[in-house]
Amino acid sequence: MVETAQQENSMGQLDIRPIAGALGAEIHGIDLSQELDDETIAEVRQALLDHLVIFFRGQDITPARHLDFARRFGEIVEYPLVKGLEGYPEIMTVVKLEHEKVNFGGLWHSDTTYLEQPPLGSILLARELPPFGGDTLFANMYLAYETLSDGMKALLGPLKGVSTSNLQRVSDTRSERMKDAAKVTPREVLTATHPVVRTHPETNRKALYVNGAHTCRFDGMTEEESAPLLAYLYAHQTRPEFTCRFRWEPGSIAFWDNRCTQHNPINDYHGHKRVMHRITIAGDTPE
Ligand code: OGA
Ligand code: MN
């Protein structure tokens, strides 16, 4: 049996409803179009730490309010590869158009681990949705670590993983957006080396920190040598019982902690449009 990560909400004002055993909770009883007091923000932050990804519904807020809310959790960072929304460079649009076949980030990943300081998290707001499909999966990387054997934990403990921005399988998912709004030349490659097991800076819990979109090898080893163990970890870390699945509605928001989760937007709505607005919060150096 896998232990669940959900915890009781002890503080009180927010109505927090877990959506799965592993991670994820909807937060009701909050209106993000209004300025929020520090206490409420602290409760939201605690809910994020407890549930790893939190969801809000019916929050059809303006880009300016979306930004104000995000700024309460840290400094905003722009996505390194694709330009932002007209007039709001800090807001990135995550779009799939009717005629397109690939969706942005359409595989299991943690965001931009090829940076020295990958984000704390992102706040993604649904603007336009397909009539069906386009759900997003999330996975709990604390559980992925905790369910490994003591032998595997000991093996992984000292290892570092190298992340790169140019693995073909993820570059393919960015191709449509890079056509019109690339910030870097496609050949520019970003790489960073991080611990395979990181300790979350706020919860002090250990999380498995490799991902199939960006990690290309273990530091000090070749790609060929690394591939079998990485393949095992990629399969293990996305076991269904470590995941939750979020069904979007216009005005839904997902706020994920990128330090201890991965996500995977499902590409099952060809012929329909999906438009999301994303704001990303700066993180620290993984340790
Ligand atoms: C992202 C991403 C998820 C989605 O914005 O980082 O992976 O549901 N998108 O579109
Ligand atoms: Mn992503």
- One-letter amino acid at 105 equals G
pLDDT tens-digit series, residues 216-273: 999 999 999 999 999 999 999 999 999 999 999 999 999 999 999 999 999 999 999 9
- What whole-number distance in Å separates Cα of residue 185 and Cα of residue 204? 38
Rg of the Cα atoms in the chain: 18
84 contacts 78 by C-beta, under 8 angstroms: yes
Collect the ranges in the chain with pLDDT lower than 50. Answer: 1-5, 7-10
Burial class (CB in 10 A: 0-12, 13-18, 19+), 156: buried
**Minimum-distance ligand 1 atom for the alpha carbon of 248:** 8
Positive or negative: CA dihedral 97, 101, 103, 105: negative
Residues taking part in catalysis: 109, 111, 263, 278
CB of residue 77 inside a 6 A radius of ligand 1:
no
- What whole-number distance in Å separates Cα of residue 265 and Cα of residue 146? 25
Closest Cα to atom 7 of ligand 1: 105
CB of residue 106 inside a 6 A radius of ligand 1:
no
pLDDT tens-digit series, residues 31-44: 999 999 999 999 99
Distance (Å) from CA 42 to ligand 1 centroid: 25
Distance (Å) from CA 150 to ligand 2 centroid: 30
The length of the chain is 287
Tell me what pLDDT residue 182 has.
Answer: 77
